[in-house]
Chains A and B, each alone.
Chain A
Protein backbone atom coordinates (compact mmCIF):
# COMPACT_ATOMS: atom_id res chain seq x y z
CA UNK A 1 0.00 0.00 0.00
CA UNK A 2 1.48 3.31 -1.04
CA UNK A 3 1.55 6.31 1.23
CA UNK A 4 -0.78 8.10 -1.18
CA UNK A 5 -3.45 5.40 -0.83
CA UNK A 6 -2.84 5.16 2.90
CA UNK A 7 -3.64 8.87 3.17
CA UNK A 8 -7.22 8.07 2.04
CA UNK A 9 -7.83 6.56 5.46
CA UNK A 10 -7.62 7.85 9.00
CA UNK A 11 -4.04 7.81 10.24
CA UNK A 12 -4.78 6.70 13.82
CA UNK A 13 -6.91 3.83 15.21
CA UNK A 14 -9.01 5.92 17.61
CA UNK A 15 -12.66 6.77 17.12
CA UNK A 16 -13.33 10.51 17.24
CA UNK A 17 -17.09 10.40 17.65
CA UNK A 18 -19.28 12.71 15.62
CA UNK A 19 -21.56 15.26 17.34
CA UNK A 20 -24.54 13.52 18.93
CA UNK A 21 -27.65 14.74 20.78
CA UNK A 22 -27.73 11.74 23.16
CA UNK A 23 -25.29 12.82 25.89
CA UNK A 24 -27.22 16.06 26.50
CA UNK A 25 -30.57 14.32 26.09
CA UNK A 26 -29.55 11.60 28.58
CA UNK A 27 -28.29 14.18 31.07
CA UNK A 28 -31.58 16.10 31.01
CA UNK A 29 -33.57 12.87 31.40
CA UNK A 30 -31.39 11.69 34.31
CA UNK A 31 -31.78 15.00 36.14
CA UNK A 32 -35.56 14.86 35.64
CA UNK A 33 -35.69 11.23 36.69
CA UNK A 34 -33.80 11.91 39.93
CA UNK A 35 -35.79 15.03 40.81
CA UNK A 36 -39.22 13.63 40.03
CA UNK A 37 -38.30 10.31 41.65
CA UNK A 38 -37.32 12.02 44.90
CA UNK A 39 -40.40 14.27 44.80
CA UNK A 40 -42.78 11.36 44.17
CA UNK A 41 -41.28 9.53 47.18
CA UNK A 42 -42.31 12.60 49.19
CA UNK A 43 -45.88 12.41 47.87
CA UNK A 44 -45.82 15.46 45.62
CA UNK A 45 -49.13 15.55 43.74
CA UNK A 46 -49.04 14.12 40.19
CA UNK A 47 -45.23 14.25 40.00
CA UNK A 48 -45.14 10.56 39.04
CA UNK A 49 -46.47 11.51 35.61
CA UNK A 50 -43.29 13.51 35.03
CA UNK A 51 -41.31 10.61 36.49
CA UNK A 52 -42.67 8.22 33.88
CA UNK A 53 -42.09 10.76 31.11
CA UNK A 54 -38.45 11.08 32.22
CA UNK A 55 -38.10 7.30 32.39
CA UNK A 56 -39.53 6.86 28.89
CA UNK A 57 -37.23 9.66 27.67
CA UNK A 58 -34.19 7.99 29.24
CA UNK A 59 -34.97 4.57 27.82
CA UNK A 60 -35.59 6.08 24.36
CA UNK A 61 -32.33 8.03 24.49
CA UNK A 62 -30.45 4.87 25.52
CA UNK A 63 -32.12 2.92 22.71
CA UNK A 64 -31.14 5.52 20.09
CA UNK A 65 -27.65 6.02 21.50
CA UNK A 66 -26.86 2.29 21.53
CA UNK A 67 -28.34 2.06 18.04
CA UNK A 68 -25.81 4.68 16.91
CA UNK A 69 -22.98 2.76 18.57
CA UNK A 70 -24.05 -0.45 16.80
CA UNK A 71 -24.05 1.45 13.49
CA UNK A 72 -20.55 2.76 14.15
CA UNK A 73 -19.17 -0.57 15.32
CA UNK A 74 -20.83 -3.08 13.01
CA UNK A 75 -21.71 -1.13 9.88
CA UNK A 76 -19.05 1.62 9.70
CA UNK A 77 -16.11 -0.35 11.08
CA UNK A 78 -15.06 2.39 13.49
CA UNK A 79 -14.29 -0.07 16.29
CA UNK A 80 -10.66 -0.96 15.71
CA UNK A 81 -8.79 -3.04 18.27
CA UNK A 82 -7.81 0.09 20.20
CA UNK A 83 -11.46 1.21 20.33
CA UNK A 84 -12.57 -2.27 21.44
CA UNK A 85 -10.03 -2.16 24.25
CA UNK A 86 -11.41 1.21 25.34
CA UNK A 87 -15.00 -0.06 25.33
CA UNK A 88 -13.95 -3.11 27.32
CA UNK A 89 -12.22 -0.93 29.88
CA UNK A 90 -15.36 1.21 30.12
CA UNK A 91 -17.49 -1.87 30.86
CA UNK A 92 -15.04 -3.06 33.52
CA UNK A 93 -14.96 0.35 35.22
CA UNK A 94 -18.77 0.50 35.11
CA UNK A 95 -19.00 -2.91 36.79
CA UNK A 96 -16.47 -1.86 39.44
CA UNK A 97 -18.64 1.18 40.23
CA UNK A 98 -21.69 -1.10 40.41
CA UNK A 99 -19.83 -3.39 42.81
CA UNK A 100 -19.17 -0.42 45.09
CA UNK A 101 -22.86 0.52 44.88
CA UNK A 102 -23.78 -2.93 46.18
CA UNK A 103 -21.02 -2.67 48.79
CA UNK A 104 -22.88 0.34 50.20
CA UNK A 105 -26.16 -1.61 50.25
CA UNK A 106 -24.50 -4.52 52.10
CA UNK A 107 -22.95 -2.02 54.49
CA UNK A 108 -26.42 -0.69 55.32
CA UNK A 109 -27.63 -4.26 55.92
CA UNK A 110 -24.72 -5.29 58.15
CA UNK A 111 -24.87 -2.00 60.03
CA UNK A 112 -28.38 -2.94 61.20
CA UNK A 113 -27.99 -6.72 61.33
CA UNK A 114 -24.67 -7.12 63.19
CA UNK A 115 -25.66 -4.91 66.13
CA UNK A 116 -29.46 -4.90 66.14
CA UNK A 117 -30.77 -2.01 68.23
CA UNK A 118 -33.08 -2.33 71.21
CA UNK A 119 -36.00 -1.14 69.04
CA UNK A 120 -35.59 -4.30 66.94
CA UNK A 121 -35.61 -6.43 70.09
CA UNK A 122 -31.79 -6.55 70.02
CA UNK A 123 -31.98 -9.52 67.67
CA UNK A 124 -31.83 -10.25 63.93
CA UNK A 125 -34.23 -10.91 62.35
CA UNK A 126 -36.12 -8.38 64.47
CA UNK A 127 -38.98 -9.42 66.74
CA UNK A 128 -42.19 -10.00 64.80
CA UNK A 129 -40.47 -10.50 61.42
CA UNK A 130 -40.96 -13.81 59.65
CA UNK A 131 -38.09 -13.96 57.17
CA UNK A 132 -38.16 -15.92 53.91
CA UNK A 133 -37.02 -19.53 54.25
CA UNK A 134 -33.73 -19.60 52.32
CA UNK A 135 -34.10 -23.28 51.42
CA UNK A 136 -37.31 -22.84 49.45
CA UNK A 137 -37.61 -20.51 46.44
CA UNK A 138 -34.33 -18.60 47.10
CA UNK A 139 -32.33 -21.85 46.84
CA UNK A 140 -34.07 -22.70 43.57
CA UNK A 141 -33.31 -19.20 42.33
CA UNK A 142 -29.64 -19.71 43.23
CA UNK A 143 -29.58 -22.88 41.14
CA UNK A 144 -31.36 -21.10 38.25
CA UNK A 145 -28.95 -18.17 38.28
CA UNK A 146 -25.87 -20.40 38.47
CA UNK A 147 -27.22 -22.54 35.60
CA UNK A 148 -27.73 -19.39 33.52
CA UNK A 149 -24.05 -18.62 34.09
CA UNK A 150 -23.23 -22.04 32.60
CA UNK A 151 -25.54 -21.62 29.59
CA UNK A 152 -24.14 -18.19 28.74
CA UNK A 153 -20.59 -19.60 28.90
CA UNK A 154 -21.75 -22.33 26.51
CA UNK A 155 -23.19 -19.69 24.17
CA UNK A 156 -19.98 -17.64 24.29
CA UNK A 157 -17.73 -20.61 23.52
CA UNK A 158 -20.07 -21.70 20.72
CA UNK A 159 -19.84 -18.22 19.17
CA UNK A 160 -16.04 -18.23 19.38
CA UNK A 161 -15.98 -21.69 17.75
CA UNK A 162 -18.28 -20.40 14.99
CA UNK A 163 -21.27 -22.54 15.93
CA UNK A 164 -24.23 -20.27 15.32
CA UNK A 165 -26.88 -22.62 16.68
CA UNK A 166 -25.04 -23.20 19.95
CA UNK A 167 -24.60 -19.47 20.44
CA UNK A 168 -28.30 -18.84 19.75
CA UNK A 169 -29.67 -21.68 21.89
CA UNK A 170 -27.26 -20.95 24.75
CA UNK A 171 -28.33 -17.30 24.80
CA UNK A 172 -32.03 -18.21 24.57
CA UNK A 173 -31.66 -20.66 27.48
CA UNK A 174 -29.90 -17.97 29.53
CA UNK A 175 -32.60 -15.40 28.87
CA UNK A 176 -35.36 -17.92 29.71
CA UNK A 177 -33.63 -18.78 33.01
CA UNK A 178 -33.27 -15.04 33.71
CA UNK A 179 -36.98 -14.45 33.11
CA UNK A 180 -37.88 -17.43 35.34
CA UNK A 181 -35.62 -15.99 38.06
CA UNK A 182 -37.31 -12.60 37.85
CA UNK A 183 -40.74 -14.26 37.91
CA UNK A 184 -39.86 -16.26 41.03
CA UNK A 185 -38.59 -13.12 42.73
CA UNK A 186 -41.96 -11.53 41.90
CA UNK A 187 -43.72 -14.53 43.50
CA UNK A 188 -41.45 -14.21 46.53
CA UNK A 189 -42.28 -10.51 46.87
CA UNK A 190 -46.03 -11.05 46.52
CA UNK A 191 -46.20 -13.72 49.25
CA UNK A 192 -43.75 -12.00 51.61
CA UNK A 193 -45.11 -11.43 55.13
CA UNK A 194 -43.23 -8.12 55.52
CA UNK A 195 -42.95 -4.96 53.39
CA UNK A 196 -40.29 -2.34 52.64
CA UNK A 197 -41.73 -0.17 55.44
CA UNK A 198 -41.41 -2.89 58.12
CA UNK A 199 -38.39 -1.44 59.88
CA UNK A 200 -34.70 -2.03 59.16
CA UNK A 201 -35.23 -5.64 58.06
CA UNK A 202 -37.86 -4.90 55.42
CA UNK A 203 -35.97 -1.84 54.18
CA UNK A 204 -32.65 -3.66 53.84
CA UNK A 205 -34.27 -6.76 52.35
CA UNK A 206 -36.18 -4.97 49.61
CA UNK A 207 -33.41 -2.39 49.05
CA UNK A 208 -30.84 -5.11 48.36
CA UNK A 209 -32.96 -7.72 46.57
CA UNK A 210 -34.90 -5.01 44.71
CA UNK A 211 -31.78 -3.42 43.26
CA UNK A 212 -30.44 -6.86 42.45
CA UNK A 213 -33.72 -7.61 40.64
CA UNK A 214 -33.43 -4.41 38.60
CA UNK A 215 -29.90 -5.40 37.67
CA UNK A 216 -31.11 -8.84 36.60
CA UNK A 217 -33.69 -7.18 34.34
CA UNK A 218 -31.04 -4.84 32.85
CA UNK A 219 -28.69 -7.81 32.37
CA UNK A 220 -31.48 -9.74 30.66
CA UNK A 221 -32.05 -6.85 28.24
CA UNK A 222 -28.27 -6.60 27.69
CA UNK A 223 -28.10 -10.31 26.76
CA UNK A 224 -31.31 -10.11 24.72
CA UNK A 225 -29.75 -7.38 22.57
CA UNK A 226 -26.67 -9.58 22.15
CA UNK A 227 -28.94 -12.50 21.17
CA UNK A 228 -30.60 -10.38 18.53
CA UNK A 229 -27.18 -9.27 17.26
CA UNK A 230 -26.02 -12.90 16.95
CA UNK A 231 -29.26 -13.68 15.14
CA UNK A 232 -28.81 -10.66 12.81
CA UNK A 233 -25.20 -11.67 11.98
CA UNK A 234 -23.75 -8.57 13.69
CA UNK A 235 -21.34 -10.44 15.94
CA UNK A 236 -18.29 -12.20 14.54
CA UNK A 237 -16.43 -15.04 16.23
CA UNK A 238 -13.74 -12.58 17.29
CA UNK A 239 -15.40 -9.16 17.60
CA UNK A 240 -18.36 -9.21 20.01
CA UNK A 241 -17.61 -6.60 22.68
CA UNK A 242 -21.31 -6.05 23.48
CA UNK A 243 -21.90 -9.75 24.08
CA UNK A 244 -18.81 -10.03 26.27
CA UNK A 245 -19.90 -6.95 28.20
CA UNK A 246 -23.32 -8.54 28.75
CA UNK A 247 -21.72 -11.78 29.92
CA UNK A 248 -19.42 -9.93 32.31
CA UNK A 249 -22.39 -7.98 33.66
CA UNK A 250 -24.38 -11.19 34.03
CA UNK A 251 -21.65 -12.88 36.05
CA UNK A 252 -21.45 -9.78 38.23
CA UNK A 253 -25.21 -9.99 38.90
CA UNK A 254 -24.70 -13.69 39.63
CA UNK A 255 -21.97 -13.01 42.20
CA UNK A 256 -24.05 -10.31 43.89
CA UNK A 257 -26.87 -12.84 44.23
CA UNK A 258 -24.53 -15.34 45.92
CA UNK A 259 -23.56 -12.70 48.48
CA UNK A 260 -27.22 -11.75 48.90
CA UNK A 261 -28.23 -15.36 49.37
CA UNK A 262 -25.52 -16.05 51.93
CA UNK A 263 -25.86 -12.85 53.96
CA UNK A 264 -29.44 -11.61 53.61
CA UNK A 265 -31.39 -14.83 53.00
CA UNK A 266 -29.36 -17.44 54.92
CA UNK A 267 -27.35 -15.68 57.65
CA UNK A 268 -29.92 -12.87 57.97
CA UNK A 269 -32.79 -15.28 58.72
Chain B
Protein backbone atom coordinates (compact mmCIF):
# COMPACT_ATOMS: atom_id res chain seq x y z
CA UNK B 1 0.00 0.00 0.00
CA UNK B 2 2.67 2.42 1.13
CA UNK B 3 5.08 1.46 -1.65
CA UNK B 4 2.34 1.78 -4.25
CA UNK B 5 1.55 5.31 -3.04
CA UNK B 6 5.22 6.16 -3.14
CA UNK B 7 5.42 5.03 -6.76
CA UNK B 8 2.38 7.08 -7.64
CA UNK B 9 3.79 10.18 -5.95
CA UNK B 10 7.11 9.72 -7.70
CA UNK B 11 5.43 9.29 -11.06
CA UNK B 12 3.30 12.33 -10.61
CA UNK B 13 6.30 14.39 -9.49
CA UNK B 14 8.27 13.66 -12.64
CA UNK B 15 5.68 13.45 -15.35
CA UNK B 16 2.95 15.79 -14.27
CA UNK B 17 4.64 19.23 -14.29
CA UNK B 18 6.01 18.76 -17.81
CA UNK B 19 2.69 17.61 -19.10
CA UNK B 20 0.71 20.31 -17.36
CA UNK B 21 2.83 23.12 -18.67
CA UNK B 22 2.66 21.91 -22.26
CA UNK B 23 -1.12 21.60 -22.22
CA UNK B 24 -1.51 24.99 -20.58
CA UNK B 25 0.63 26.68 -23.22
CA UNK B 26 -1.28 24.89 -25.97
CA UNK B 27 -4.54 26.18 -24.59
CA UNK B 28 -3.26 29.73 -24.34
CA UNK B 29 -1.85 29.64 -27.85
CA UNK B 30 -5.06 28.22 -29.37
CA UNK B 31 -7.23 30.78 -27.63
CA UNK B 32 -5.03 33.56 -28.92
CA UNK B 33 -5.36 32.22 -32.45
CA UNK B 34 -9.03 31.44 -32.70
CA UNK B 35 -10.92 33.59 -30.25
CA UNK B 36 -12.91 36.26 -32.00
CA UNK B 37 -15.06 38.71 -30.06
CA UNK B 38 -18.46 37.10 -29.56
CA UNK B 39 -21.10 38.87 -31.57
CA UNK B 40 -24.16 40.32 -29.89
CA UNK B 41 -26.87 37.71 -29.47
CA UNK B 42 -30.34 39.18 -29.88
CA UNK B 43 -32.75 38.48 -27.05
CA UNK B 44 -36.43 37.69 -27.48
CA UNK B 45 -37.40 41.36 -27.17
CA UNK B 46 -35.15 42.32 -30.10
CA UNK B 47 -36.67 39.78 -32.49
CA UNK B 48 -38.89 41.50 -35.05
CA UNK B 49 -38.76 39.45 -38.27
CA UNK B 50 -37.34 36.15 -39.51
CA UNK B 51 -34.10 37.94 -40.39
CA UNK B 52 -33.44 38.44 -36.68
CA UNK B 53 -33.50 34.71 -36.02
CA UNK B 54 -29.86 34.08 -36.88
CA UNK B 55 -27.06 33.46 -34.41
CA UNK B 56 -23.46 34.58 -34.77
CA UNK B 57 -22.32 31.00 -35.48
CA UNK B 58 -19.61 29.00 -33.78
CA UNK B 59 -15.98 29.98 -33.40
CA UNK B 60 -13.78 27.95 -35.76
CA UNK B 61 -12.71 24.63 -34.29
CA UNK B 62 -15.39 24.46 -31.59
CA UNK B 63 -18.66 22.62 -31.30
CA UNK B 64 -21.47 25.14 -31.86
CA UNK B 65 -24.06 25.66 -29.15
CA UNK B 66 -27.76 26.11 -29.88
CA UNK B 67 -27.58 29.79 -28.91
CA UNK B 68 -24.76 30.34 -31.37
CA UNK B 69 -26.21 28.45 -34.28
CA UNK B 70 -29.93 27.59 -34.08
CA UNK B 71 -32.08 29.41 -36.65
CA UNK B 72 -35.74 29.93 -37.45
CA UNK B 73 -38.52 28.69 -35.24
CA UNK B 74 -36.08 26.55 -33.26
CA UNK B 75 -34.17 29.69 -32.31
CA UNK B 76 -37.35 31.54 -31.36
CA UNK B 77 -38.27 28.67 -29.05
CA UNK B 78 -34.80 28.62 -27.44
CA UNK B 79 -34.71 32.42 -26.98
CA UNK B 80 -38.12 32.18 -25.35
CA UNK B 81 -37.04 29.39 -23.03
CA UNK B 82 -33.97 31.41 -21.98
CA UNK B 83 -36.32 34.10 -20.72
CA UNK B 84 -38.85 31.66 -19.31
CA UNK B 85 -41.39 32.33 -22.08
CA UNK B 86 -43.27 29.51 -23.77
CA UNK B 87 -43.55 31.06 -27.23
CA UNK B 88 -45.92 28.37 -28.47
CA UNK B 89 -48.24 28.64 -25.48
CA UNK B 90 -48.60 24.86 -25.26
CA UNK B 91 -50.28 24.88 -21.87
CA UNK B 92 -53.80 23.39 -21.80
CA UNK B 93 -56.71 25.79 -21.48
CA UNK B 94 -57.86 26.86 -18.05
CA UNK B 95 -59.59 23.82 -16.55
CA UNK B 96 -59.97 25.09 -13.00
CA UNK B 97 -63.59 26.06 -13.53
CA UNK B 98 -66.51 25.76 -15.94
CA UNK B 99 -66.76 28.66 -18.36
CA UNK B 100 -70.01 30.60 -18.37
CA UNK B 101 -71.46 33.21 -20.72
CA UNK B 102 -70.60 35.87 -18.13
CA UNK B 103 -67.11 34.49 -17.45
CA UNK B 104 -65.96 32.36 -20.40
CA UNK B 105 -62.68 30.41 -20.67
CA UNK B 106 -60.33 32.59 -22.70
CA UNK B 107 -58.71 31.07 -25.79
CA UNK B 108 -55.76 33.01 -27.21
CA UNK B 109 -55.71 33.18 -31.01
CA UNK B 110 -53.51 34.90 -33.56
CA UNK B 111 -55.67 33.99 -36.56
CA UNK B 112 -59.19 34.63 -37.86
CA UNK B 113 -60.33 31.22 -36.71
CA UNK B 114 -59.46 29.09 -33.70
CA UNK B 115 -60.27 25.55 -32.67
CA UNK B 116 -60.56 24.57 -29.02
CA UNK B 117 -61.06 21.03 -27.78
CA UNK B 118 -63.41 20.72 -24.83
CA UNK B 119 -63.06 17.67 -22.57
CA UNK B 120 -65.62 18.83 -20.06
CA UNK B 121 -65.40 19.99 -16.48
CA UNK B 122 -63.62 18.47 -14.61
CA UNK B 123 -61.16 17.98 -17.48
CA UNK B 124 -61.36 14.64 -19.33
CA UNK B 125 -64.91 13.95 -18.19
CA UNK B 126 -66.10 13.57 -21.79
CA UNK B 127 -64.56 12.86 -25.19
CA UNK B 128 -62.90 15.78 -26.96
CA UNK B 129 -65.41 17.98 -28.74
CA UNK B 130 -63.84 20.49 -31.09
CA UNK B 131 -65.36 23.93 -31.10
CA UNK B 132 -64.68 26.49 -33.81
CA UNK B 133 -64.51 30.14 -32.87
CA UNK B 134 -64.09 32.96 -35.35
CA UNK B 135 -63.45 36.67 -34.95
CA UNK B 136 -67.02 37.36 -36.05
CA UNK B 137 -68.41 34.78 -33.63
CA UNK B 138 -65.91 34.47 -30.77
CA UNK B 139 -68.08 32.66 -28.21
CA UNK B 140 -68.75 28.93 -28.38
CA UNK B 141 -70.50 26.65 -25.95
CA UNK B 142 -69.76 22.93 -25.68
CA UNK B 143 -72.92 20.99 -26.59
CA UNK B 144 -71.96 18.21 -24.18
CA UNK B 145 -71.13 19.96 -20.90
CA UNK B 146 -72.08 23.60 -21.52
CA UNK B 147 -68.55 24.92 -20.99
CA UNK B 148 -68.26 28.36 -22.62
CA UNK B 149 -65.11 29.48 -24.48
CA UNK B 150 -64.28 32.89 -25.86
CA UNK B 151 -61.66 33.59 -28.47
CA UNK B 152 -59.21 36.29 -27.44
CA UNK B 153 -57.81 37.69 -30.67
CA UNK B 154 -54.19 38.83 -30.33
CA UNK B 155 -53.16 38.92 -34.01
CA UNK B 156 -52.45 41.95 -36.20
CA UNK B 157 -55.09 44.65 -36.37
CA UNK B 158 -57.04 45.10 -39.61
CA UNK B 159 -55.83 47.74 -42.02
CA UNK B 160 -58.27 50.65 -42.41
CA UNK B 161 -59.06 50.17 -46.11
CA UNK B 162 -60.39 46.70 -45.48
CA UNK B 163 -64.21 46.62 -45.20
CA UNK B 164 -64.85 43.03 -44.38
CA UNK B 165 -68.51 43.71 -43.55
CA UNK B 166 -69.38 44.68 -47.12
CA UNK B 167 -68.07 41.75 -49.11
CA UNK B 168 -67.80 38.68 -46.99
CA UNK B 169 -66.08 35.88 -48.88
CA UNK B 170 -65.33 33.48 -46.07
CA UNK B 171 -67.23 30.60 -44.60
CA UNK B 172 -70.85 31.53 -43.96
CA UNK B 173 -72.40 30.34 -40.75
CA UNK B 174 -75.10 27.78 -41.65
CA UNK B 175 -78.63 28.65 -40.55
CA UNK B 176 -79.98 26.76 -37.58
CA UNK B 177 -83.45 26.46 -36.11
CA UNK B 178 -82.69 29.45 -33.92
CA UNK B 179 -82.56 31.66 -37.01
CA UNK B 180 -86.27 31.00 -37.69
CA UNK B 181 -87.52 31.66 -34.16
CA UNK B 182 -89.75 34.73 -34.19
CA UNK B 183 -88.24 37.70 -32.34
CA UNK B 184 -91.07 37.75 -29.80
CA UNK B 185 -89.96 34.30 -28.61
CA UNK B 186 -86.30 35.22 -28.16
CB < 8 Å: which of B44, B47, B77 contacts A81? B77
CB < 8 Å: which of B49, B57, B69 contacts A8? B49
Which of A9-17, A61-69, A196-204 makes up part of the contact surface?
A9-17
Q: CB-CB < 8 A to B66: which residues of A?
A: 236-239
Asked if B62 is an interface residue, CB under 8 A from chain A, the answer is: yes
**What is the CB-to-nearest-CB distance from B183 to chain A, in angstroms, rounded to a whole number?**
38
A167 to B61, CA, bound (A): 12
Interface size class of A (residues with CB under 8 A): 20 to 34
Which of A46-54, A105-113, A158-166, A220-228 makes up part of the contact surface?
A158-166
Closest to A240 in B: B63
A230 to B50, CA, bound (A): 26
Interface size class of B (residues with CB under 8 A): 35 or more
Q: CB-CB < 8 A to A10: which residues of B?
A: 73
A7 with B156: in contact, given A164-B63, A167-B63, A237-B65 (CB under 8 Å)?
Answer: yes
A262 to B102, CA, bound (A): 71
**What is the CB-to-nearest-CB distance from A265 to chain B, in angstroms, rounded to a whole number?**
39
Task: Tell me if A236 and B64 are in contact (CB < 8 A).
Answer: yes
Task: Tell me if A4 and B156 are in contact (CB < 8 A).
Answer: yes
Asked if B9 is an interface residue, CB under 8 A from chain A, the answer is: no
A233 with B50: in contact, given A4-B156, A7-B156, A79-B74 (CB under 8 Å)?
Answer: no
A257 to B157, CA, bound (A): 62
Task: Tell me if B62 and A77 are in contact (CB < 8 A).
Answer: no
* Residues of B that sit less than 8 Å from A by CB: 44-45, 47-50, 53, 57-58, 61-66, 68-77, 85, 87-88, 90, 110-111, 154-157
